[in-house]
Amino acid sequence: MSSTTARTALVTGAAQGIGLASAQRLRRDGCRVIGADLTEAAMEPVRGQFDGVVGVDVSDSAAVAALRETIGPVDILVQSAGVVGPNKPMWEVLDAEWDLTMRVNLNGIFAMMRAFIPSMKERGWGRIVNIASIAGKEGNPNLAAYSASKAAVIGLTKSVGKELATSGVLVNSIAPAVIATPMNLDTAPHVLEYMLSKIPMGRPGTVEEVASLVGWLASDECGFSTGACFDISGGRATY
Domain ranges of the chain: 2-226
2-226 fold: Rossmann fold (3.40.50)
With a threshold of 0.85, does the pTM exceed it?
yes
For the chain, where are the alpha helices, taking DSSP H only? 17-28, 40-43, 61-71, 95-102, 108-123, 135-138, 144-163, 189-197, 207-217
Rg (Cα) of the chain, in Å, rounded? 17
Would you write out the chain's pLDDT as a tens digit for each of its 239 residues? 444 458 999 999 999 999 999 999 999 999 999 999 999 999 999 999 999 999 999 999 999 999 999 999 999 999 999 999 999 999 999 999 999 999 999 999 999 999 999 999 999 999 999 999 999 999 999 999 999 999 999 999 999 999 999 999 999 999 999 898 876 766 778 777 888 889 999 899 999 999 999 999 999 999 999 999 999 999 999 88
Residue 77: CB partners within 8 Å, gap ≥ 6? 9, 10, 112, 113, 116, 126, 127, 128, 129
**CB of 111 within 8 A of CB of 170?**
no
Active-site positions?
Answer: 146
* Strand, coil or helix: 14: coil
Contact 200, 128 (CB under 8 A): no
